[in-house]
Structure 1
């Protein structure tokens, strides 16, 4: 099978590992295979056991291989934004004593010049994204190749992360028998894939509510400007349910998925369901509203903490509002709750791909889409980081930039209703005292 234009996205999450095989044909992203397996060896979005993580990756890859009928060797892997550092960099090289045409190698050389710096030993470069090239003083150039000049400069953004996180991710991928041909800071890929051009330009906040952690990222001027990670996510909600209702983690997860609401005002006191309680021979009946209060209490804490960070950067004044994604974003009522906390427009991004219409698949799809839309210049710049000749060799077969993965937006969903008649102080009064002590 011809695999040119075919890419594999690998999303290594705390609760699940997702692998998506897709190709571009006639301007469309076609998903050929999907693997979705329970994760192992991760805690709060970070790999803490490479052996367990690599085995889980193998299982997800095998499932995707069987559905796509191909063998997977190369993957695009997402790197979490934990302790991410973003800084502008500049590089400059002399083309020669006399003007000549700028080549692919010149682009790689100027990118390499931009990253010549003394990185702290505990940090590692993840991505280098070019903003513009300057040829003999003429700026704003996106692709300098074939132009004539004697001096080439590049301005870009450098993204670095903790060496432990990056190394463990690459090692787990390698141990699973795969080659990480490209690593991408997760919010960069998501921003390109699920935000419209206007949202990326004027400024939008991405909230990725995952199982192991929650990430707030600010996209402005088509760049990732800020990222903050809160080490709490859907797993914490599940643990809260388990502790409060005195039931197993497995039962708590089922309750969250089958009966959970993010917004307790939308849940009913009359709707009740049985819960297996540890130490009791018979199940206890729990109301839908009580379960929602447990869920809402933890979500309010997560969102309020992220709000503090976003307020400090003045991000909530950006016109794009907030776009929610990640598995927790599937909880009914999450849009209303987030709008109440942040007081800005909120929508949930859900992939339109058949069989993947769940926000937990957004990241894996974004990785594939990001790679498919990378320009030749972007590939050359990224290849300069570690002398990745494989990326360079792909340029000749690079397909034309394609359209983004289509995702649902607020125009296709019912507008959120105003919540001004429901003050926060009235929320979850029945368990407010318990959670005040529990979270502390």
Structure 2
């Protein structure tokens, strides 16, 4: 797949693997292929059996490849926010003794300086997002190339994840016969499509209701500020239905999809449907209201725990309210239930592209959108990461970096030196300044 205008998003979910192929034509992304297969080898969003996961990935990729009529060789992959850590970083280099023009090599050098830090052995750098460059004291610069200066600084946001999560994801993709074009943390990719420009700017809570877990991410000023996870998702609703109604998991999942409602008050008591019960020859009639009570009970627990975590950081006071997406968000009545618990405006995001009108496709769509919207500066900064991807290595080959003496920039007053606030305060202390 040598055409750089083709983007393939790979969402490795707990219950299903989604693949979207898009072609960029005149600045527009056109979906040309979609693949979807039953997930194997995953638990709560994390790969626990590499061989089984690789097999499921191959199946979904093959399906998308046939529909798009192209050979897929590289993908933009998403990783869950499991144990994700977010921190602000900065780096500074001397461009030269006299004012000289800043080049791409200087940008790479200052990004490398920002990465100088001692990480615990169990963690690995996932990505580095530049927020601004400073040239000789002039700040808020997005692209310093071509400018004249003596000193170049960069401030950014660093994302680190457990090595196991990242390694297993990469290994499964490689075993599926694919290379990695880019790796993106899931909430960042989803925000690109699920939130409007105003919502991402003023601040919004984005909740992804997946099969194995539920993730709440706080997006403010177009940046990912905080993530909190609940280790329950749609699979737990299916298990509840199976246990309460004494039916198989496959039947329970079908009942959830066909008759499920997250709001028990909206489900009529009179509407009934047959349920195949283990150990009985005849189906048992169950009302939609009773089924919805089972679903509502589990979702109430999930939303309540997320609400408590978000309330600690005052994230629910952000003007954008709450946006819900993910496969479980397809349940009718999810919005009024969430609104009742969070006491905030809640809306559901569903992709509107043909063949993808289901919230389960949000992440895969967000991945290709994120990759397509990456700037030259984003790519340059990504190329210095410890484990570069295919596109990063290609970029690095074009402009090799020479080692430039660097020293850490002075810590900002609100970051490290004067006091050490909690992680929540560090990201939300100055939210509305």
User: Is this a same-fold pair by TM over 0.5?
Assistant: yes
For residues 379-429 of structure 1, the C-alpha deviation after alignment (integer angstroms, 9 at most, x for no partner) is 1111110355733646999xxxxxxxxxxxxxxxxxxxxxxxxxxxxxxxx
Q: Cα RMSD over matched residues?
A: 1.5
Q: Could you tell me how far 1:177 is from its partner in structure 2?
A: 0.9
SS at the partner of 2:182?
Answer: strand
Identify the residue that residue 6 of structure 2 maps to in structure 1.
Answer: 6
* Alpha carbons of structure 1 residues 358 and 395: separation in structure 2 relative to 1, 3 Å: farther
Give, in whole Å, the separation in 2 of the partners of 1:61 and 1:370: 19
For residues 101-129 of structure 1, the C-alpha deviation after alignment (integer angstroms, 9 at most, x for no partner) is 11111111111110111110010111100
1:380, 1:392 within 8 Å by CA — same for their partners in 2? no
Q: Could you tell me how far 1:27 is from its partner in structure 2?
A: 3.0
Q: Aligned runs of 1:4-403 on 2, under 5 Å? A: 4-386=4-386, 387-388=388-389, 390-391=391-392, 393=394
For residues 74-99 of structure 1, the C-alpha deviation after alignment (integer angstroms, 9 at most, x for no partner) is 11110100111100000111111122
Identify the residue that residue 414 of structure 2 maps to in structure 1.
Answer: none
Q: TM-score with structure 1 length normalisation?
A: 0.88
1:322, 1:344 within 8 Å by CA — same for their partners in 2? yes
Q: Could you tell me how far 1:173 is from its partner in structure 2?
A: 0.7
Segments of 5+ residues of structure 1 without an aligned counterpart are 398-440
* Alpha carbons of structure 1 residues 388 and 104: separation in structure 2 relative to 1, 3 Å: farther
Q: TM-score with structure 2 length normalisation?
A: 0.90
Give, in whole Å, the separation in 2 of the partners of 1:161 and 1:339: 31
Identify the residue that residue 401 of structure 1 maps to in structure 2.
Answer: none
Q: Could you tell me how far 1:193 is from its partner in structure 2?
A: 2.3
For residues 37-63 of structure 1, the C-alpha deviation after alignment (integer angstroms, 9 at most, x for no partner) is 000000111110011001100001100
Give, in whole Å, the separation in 1 of the partners of 2:354 and 2:50: 32
Give, in whole Å, the separation in 1 of the partners of 2:214 and 2:94: 44
SS at the partner of 1:93?
Answer: strand
- Work out the number of aligned pairs and report it: 397
Give, in whole Å, the separation in 2 of the partners of 1:286 and 1:377: 58
Give, in whole Å, the separation in 2 of the partners of 1:355 and 1:130: 35
Give, in whole Å, the separation in 1 of the partners of 2:77 and 2:189: 10
